[in-house]
């Protein structure tokens, strides 16, 4: 009778609904705490000519102003390549890039000081688009490639070839809690920093390096985040450092909380991608060769861009067998804030391209794209090796297609869509089913490790600490469930502690969907160590020479809060009694667990290897209606079917599926980042940046999971679930493209991501107006030249 497999509410659900759950800015102010603000670059690209802080310093209530010259350690940091500055020195490379940190007694003074900072700049033309960066040959990291087979031969022998380019725009994470941190200075150089970060170990490191102190002098803590989605994997570094620097200089606690506007303007987002592709296929629609060159808009510094591009290449196949491929990935350096992780981590951009291609082949061959997708899908016994050489093992992809087609009545509804489009003069319908196969593990091998600390107290209650952070995904409750079952006790006896580098060292970011996999396994390892000692002790306790029962740990059971020897089940101890006795008998009641993912490796130079422990897969079918006169898009129905192994907590996991999917829907439909020509973000708040709203939820939304009998690995045979469902959103986008195909005559309609109302109407107009060649595509989102706020 365990807890694993049960839908148990989120660890903090009670705190959430009562408002008692505390986030960074909810922590009561310390008596002498300072407010931290910053002053950022007024241009996207330029050199500081002069900076005058005189007036700002005189504002009553200002406690200090700091520039890069006040940084005692390094001013430079970066997770992969160290190329980013905490504070701009001379060159400013994106709009709003922090230059001066302001510390003040109150918000008013901080704001006032900010207004009084005087700066002059030598302004340079900003490079904002991929196109421009390519022209100027501005790159971050090196170009990566994955190749297999003989592409040229495939192209030469192809029945058909299609080529084109495809643009997907960026996406703002839009976590509700903006970036925030509080630093508490301690004795000597000690610094404790609480931040809303997915990566406390990295915060510890950048704070130590920036302040020029040892990592052992910094404690980095994160209790919970109000959402993160990848946006707090690296992007918390700058705000956390701001607070730390102020605390370091003033010896007073210091708090920084970005406004939503500032957060959206100056933190990195999902990368915009431009891709050129050429695909060879047979008359039947089987893909025989693919060449795809991916270019991402990396922003001004490397951040995680190269790793993200790597994942793009590793997901360019999505669920399809591509015998001959040449993939390349190049990260362009531009004058935007460094783009960064966002749920899917480059995977969505890779998959979007192949899904676009499949939709185009279908339109070209006048076939139902569904048939082409199943035709090209990875097989079970054959056609099951990815371009980088990993076997797609334990797969149930064909079954997913089949089952979902049936449960969603795909064929019948598809026929109805076709006939609707013949009837209606005012609306168009579209429908598409897309699969998703997402590789689980960090592609940087060494990150695939986790450690955990489990302490049992004398009353039988337990504290668990891991390097995993709670951002809403339900990591804490899942780990509690795992620990509870190991000791056969109630969940109430187990507490998940705030993530702290004091308890868990050198931890990886909670990312790559691997939070539960790594930390759950590490916790399990710790539990098993303690359990071993406890069970040995229990076996001695229950043994009886007279009865001929000798100590045998194998016969000890921990269940329902009770401990017994199966040979004498009438003698029992409560778990807490056992713990007390064990304590008195000097048994170790704490342990540290460790886990590293076995058997994975990848050579990024050759583009070969088996980087993933396993794949999470799924399928989704979407039906949409568009208004022919406005481009207005309505999602009528979506059916999702996912293989997530044996769910540790189905309540939590269904939430991940629904939430991830809708987040993806935002990316492919309504979320549109718009910039001014000077590189300043215009859509910097929810007034103009529209994430899905409750009304955008499909009218019919069926979310289901499927059993995968072949999956036997990973913690309690579960599968990672965080990122994968996001990519099912491509069904919605493909359905729009499908809808457009009914009015595009003999041409293949183009469609960018996002398929906003405006984008859709533009494509409809192209369809109606034969003078505009339908494929004509101005690629990247145009930059707005005149700014006019009207309301």
Partner 1 sequence: MRDYVLLYINGKRHQISGERVFQPLSDFLRYDQEMVGTKVVCAEGDCGACSALLGRAGDGTLNYQVFNTCIAYVFQLDCRHVVTVEGLKGHNGLHPVQQAMIEHFGSQCGYCTPGFVVAMAALFEKRHDLTEQAVRDGLTGNLCRCTGYQAIINATLSIKPDTVETMAERFPALPMLDAFDQHSQSSVLIEYPESIQGKTIMKRSFIPSSVQEAVLLKKQHPDAVLIAGGTDISVQMNKEKIDPQTVIILPDTPELRVLELDQENLKIGAKVRWSELEIFCKDKLPELHKILKVFASDQIKNCATMAGNIANASPIADSLPFLFVVNAEIELTGIQNKRWVEINRFFHGYKNTDIQAEEVITQIRIPLPKPEQFLKLYKVSKRRDLDISTFTAAILVEMVDDQMIKDIRIAYGGVAPVVLRLAKTEAFLKNKTFDLENMRTAGKLAREEIAPISDVRASRDYRLRLSETTLEKFFHEVSQTE
Q: List residues near ligand FES by CB under 6 A.
A: 176, 227, 472
Among residues 272 and 285, whose Cβ is nearest to partner 1? 272
Query: Of 315 and 763, which CB lies nearer to partner 1 in the complex structure?
Result: 763
Q: Which residue in the list 84, 310, 723, 759 is annotated as catalytic?
A: 723
Residue 762 binds to partner 1 (criterion: CB under 8 A): yes
What are the tokens at 587? Answer: 């048994």
305 contacts: CB under 8 Å, gap ≥ 6: 140, 141, 271, 296, 298, 299, 331, 338, 339, 340
Residue 74 or 690: the one with the smaller Cβ distance to partner 1 is: 690
* Residue whose CB is less far from partner 1, 27 or 385: 27
Q: Min. distance of Cβ 422 from partner 1 in angstroms?
A: 11
Q: Name the closest residue to ligand FES (Cβ).
A: 176
Nearer to ligand FES, 1 or 791 (CB): 791
69 binds partner 1 (CB under 8 A): no
Q: What are the phi and psi torsion angles at 78 (to 5°)?
A: 160, 140
Q: Please identify, using beta-carbon distances, which residue of 250 and 676 lies nearer to partner 1.
A: 676
Cβ count near 28 (within 10 Å): 7
Q: Does 259 bind partner 1 (CB under 8 A)?
A: yes
The only residue of 688, 704, 747, 779 in contact with partner 1, by rule CB under 8 A: 688
Stretch that binds partner 1, among 24-32, 485-493, 510-518, 616-624 (CB under 8 A): 24-32
User: Measured between alpha carbons, how far is 408 from 406 in angstroms, rounded to an integer?
Assistant: 5
Please, what's the b/e burial string for 493-527 (b: 16 or more CB within 10 A of its CB; e: otherwise)? bbbbbbbbbbbbeebbbbbbbbbbbbbbbbbbbbb
Answer yes or no whether residue 701 interacts with partner 1 by CB under 8 A.
Answer: yes
Query: At a CB cut-off of 8 Å and minimum separation 6, what does 499 contact?
Result: 200, 221, 222, 223, 465, 466, 467, 468, 469, 470, 507
> With contact defined as beta carbons under 8 Å apart, do 722 and 656 qualify?
yes
Q: Which does 426 bind (CB under 5 to 8 A by kind): ligand FES, partner 1, none?
A: partner 1
Least distance (Å) from ligand FES to the CB of residue 655? 9
Per partner kind, with CB cut-offs from 5 to 8 A, the member of partner 1, ligand FES, none near residue 756 is partner 1
Minimum CB separation of residue 176 from ligand FES in Å reads 5
- Measured at the alpha carbon of residue 260, what is the angle toward residues 21 and 114, in degrees to the nearest 5? 115
Task: Output the CA torsion sign for 477, 480, 486, 488.
Answer: negative
Least CB distance from residue 679 to ligand FES, whole Å?
26
Residues 591-650 that bind partner 1 (CB under 8 A): 627-630, 632
Binders of partner 1: how many residues, by CB under 8 A? 94
Find which of partner 1, ligand FES, none residue 782 binds, CB within 5 to 8 Å per kind.
partner 1
743 is a site residue for partner 1 (CB under 8 A): no
Single out the segment in contact with partner 1 by CB under 8 A; choices: 174-182, 461-469, 524-532, 599-607: 174-182
Identity of the residue, 107 or 712, whose beta carbon is nearer to ligand FES in the bound complex: 107
761 is a site residue for partner 1 (CB under 8 A): yes
Nearer to partner 1, 64 or 666 (CB): 666
Residue 413: burial class (beta carbons within 10 Å; 0-12, 13-18, 19+): middle
Q: Which does 762 bind (CB under 5 to 8 A by kind): ligand FES, partner 1, none?
A: partner 1
- Residues 112-151 vs partner 1: string with x where CB under 8 A? x---------------------------------------
Interaction with partner 1 in 185-224: which residues (CB under 8 A)? Answer: 224
In terms of Cα–Cα distance, which of 533, 528, 499 is closest to 594?
Answer: 528
Partner touching 660 among ligand FES, partner 1, none, CB below 5 to 8 Å by kind: partner 1
3-state secondary structure of 499: strand
Distance CA 559, CA 2 (A): 8
758 is catalytic: no
Q: Is 723 exposed, middle or buried (0-12, 13-18, 19+ CB in 10 A)?
A: buried
Q: What is the chain's Cα-based Rg?
A: 28
Nearer to ligand FES, 524 or 662 (CB): 662
Binding-site member from 663, 708, 714, 738 for partner 1 (CB under 8 A): 663
- Burial of 578 (C-beta count, 10 Å sphere; 0-12/13-18/19+): buried
Nearer residue to partner 1 within complex by CB, 115 or 707: 115
Q: For residue 648, what are its two tokens?
A: 């540790």
- Taking CB under 8 A as the rule, which mask of x and - marks residues 284-303 in contact with partner 1? --------------------
Distance of CA 16 to the CA centre of its chain: 22
Q: Which does 694 bind (CB under 5 to 8 A by kind): partner 1, ligand FES, none?
A: partner 1
| Residues 467, 486: Cα–Cα separation, whole Å | 20
Instruction: Give least dist CB 227 to ligand FES, A.
Output: 5
19 binds, among partner 1, ligand FES, none (CB under 5 to 8 A by kind): partner 1
Query: What is the chain's percent helix, strand, coil content, to nearest 5?
Result: 30, 25, 40
Query: Tokens for 600?
Result: 């994975």
- Residue 196 CB, shortest distance to ligand FES, in Å, is 12
CB-count exposure of residue 693 (10 Å: 0-12, 13-18, 19+)? exposed
Question: Phi and psi of 280, rounded to 5°?
Answer: -110, 135
Angstrom distance (rounded) from CA 708 to CA 288: 29
> Which does residue 758 bind out of ligand FES, partner 1, none, counting CB within 5 to 8 angstroms by kind?
partner 1
Q: Does 16 bind partner 1 (CB under 8 A)?
A: yes
Work out the end-to-end distance of the chain between its first and last CA atoms, rounded to an integer number of angstroms.
59
Minimum distance of partner 1 from residue 26's CB (angstroms):
4
Q: Which of 268, 387, 660, 749 binds partner 1 (CB under 8 A)?
A: 660
Q: State the nearest-atom distance from the C-beta of 303 to partner 1, in Å.
A: 21
For β-strands 254-257 and 34-40, DSSP reports them as parallel
Q: Which two tokens stand for residue 454?
A: 């489990």
Residues catalogued as catalytic = 723
């Amino acid at each position: 009778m365990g807890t694993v497999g049960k839908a148990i509410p989120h660890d903090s659900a009670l705190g959430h609904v009562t408002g008692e759950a505390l986030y960074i800015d909810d922590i009561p102010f310390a008596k002498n705490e300072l407010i931290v603000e910053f002053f950022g670059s007024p241009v996207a690209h330029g050199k500081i000519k002069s900076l005058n802080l005189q007036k700002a310093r005189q504002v009553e209530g200002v406690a200090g102003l700091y520039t890069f010259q006040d940084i005692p350690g390094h001013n430079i940091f970066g997770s992969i390549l160290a190329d980013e500055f905490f504070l701009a020195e001379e060159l400013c490379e994106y709009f709003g890039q922090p230059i001066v940190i302001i510390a003040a007694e109150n918000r008013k003074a901080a704001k006032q000081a900010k207004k009084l900072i005087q700066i002059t700049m030598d302004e340079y033309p900003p490079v904002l688009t991929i196109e421009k960066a390519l022209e100027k040959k501005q790159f971050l990291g090196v170009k990566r490639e994955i190749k297999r087979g003989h592409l040229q031969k495939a192209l030469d022998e192809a029945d058909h070839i299609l080529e084109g380019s495809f643009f997907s725009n960026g996406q703002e994470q839009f976590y509700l809690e903006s970036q925030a941190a509080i630093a508490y200075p301690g004795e000597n150089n000690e610094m404790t920093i609480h931040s809303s970060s997915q990566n406390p170990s990295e915060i510890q490191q950048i704070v130590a390096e920036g302040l020029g102190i040892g990592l052992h002098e910094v404690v980095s803590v994160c209790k919970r985040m109000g959402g993160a989605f990848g946006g707090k994997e690296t992007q918390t570094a700058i705000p956390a450092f701001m607070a730390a620097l102020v605390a370091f200089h003033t010896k007073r606690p210091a708090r920084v909380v970005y406004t939503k506007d500032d957060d959206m303007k100056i933190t990195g987002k999902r990368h915009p991608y431009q891709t050129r592709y050429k695909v060879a296929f047979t008359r039947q629609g089987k893909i025989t060769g693919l060449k795809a060159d991916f270019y991402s808009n990396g922003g001004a510094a490397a951040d995680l861009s190269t790793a993200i591009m790597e994942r793009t290449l590793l997901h360019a196949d999505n669920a399809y067998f591509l015998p001959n491929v040449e993939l390349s990935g190049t990260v362009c350096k531009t004058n935007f804030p460094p783009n960064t992780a966002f749920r899917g981590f480059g995977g969505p951009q890779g998959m979007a391209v192949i899904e676009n291609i499949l939709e185009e082949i279908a339109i070209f061959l006048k076939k139902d794209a569904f048939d082409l997708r199943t035709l090209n899908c990875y097989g079970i016994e054959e056609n099951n090796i990815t371009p980088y050489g990993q076997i797609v093992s334990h797969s149930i992809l064909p079954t997913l297609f089949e089952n979902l087609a049936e449960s969603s009545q795909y064929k019948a509804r598809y026929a109805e869509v076709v006939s609707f489009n013949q009837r209606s003069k005012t609306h168009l319908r579209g429908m598409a089913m897309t699969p998703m196969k997402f590789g689980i593990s960090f592609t940087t091998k060494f990150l695939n490790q986790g450690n955990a600390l489990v302490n049992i107290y004398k009353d039988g209650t337990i504290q668990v600490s891991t390097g995993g952070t709670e951002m809403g995904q339900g990591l804490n409750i899942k780990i509690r469930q795992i620990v509870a079952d190991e000791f056969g006790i109630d969940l109430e006896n187990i507490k998940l502690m705030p993530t702290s580098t004091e308890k868990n060292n050198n931890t990886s970011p909670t990312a790559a969907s691997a939070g539960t996999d790594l930390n759950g396994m590490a916790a399990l390892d710790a539990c098993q160590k303690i359990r071993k000692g406890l069970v040995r002790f229990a076996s001695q306790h229950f043994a009886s020479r007279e009865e001929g029962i000798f100590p045998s740990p194998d016969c000890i059971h921990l269940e329902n809060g009770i401990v017994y020897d199966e040979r004498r089940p009438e003698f029992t101890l409560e778990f807490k009694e056992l713990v007390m006795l064990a304590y008195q008998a000097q048994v170790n009641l704490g342990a540290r667990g460790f886990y590293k993912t076995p058997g994975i490796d990848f050579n990024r130079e050759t583009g070969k290897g088996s980087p993933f422990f396993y794949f999470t897969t799924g399928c989704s079918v979407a039906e949409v209606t568009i208004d022919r006169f406005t481009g207005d898009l309505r999602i009528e129905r979506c059916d999702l079917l996912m293989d997530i192994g044996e769910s540790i907590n189905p309540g939590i996991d269904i939430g991940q599926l629904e939430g991830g999917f809708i987040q993806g829907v935002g990316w492919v439909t309504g979320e549109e980042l718009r910039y001014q020509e000077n590189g300043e973000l215009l859509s910097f708040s929810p007034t103009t940046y529209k994430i899905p709203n409750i009304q955008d939820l499909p009218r019919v939304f069926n979310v289901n999971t499927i059993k995968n009998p072949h999956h036997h690995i990973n913690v309690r045979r579960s599968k990672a679930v965080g990122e994968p469902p996001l990519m099912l959103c491509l069904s919605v986008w493909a359905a729009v493209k499908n809808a457009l195909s009914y009015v595009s005559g003999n041409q293949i309609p183009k469609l960018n991501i996002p398929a906003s109302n405006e984008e859709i109407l533009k494509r409809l107009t192209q369809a109606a107006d034969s003078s505009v060649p339908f494929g004509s595509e101005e690629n990247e989102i145009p930059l707005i030249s005149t700014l006019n706020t009207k309301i």
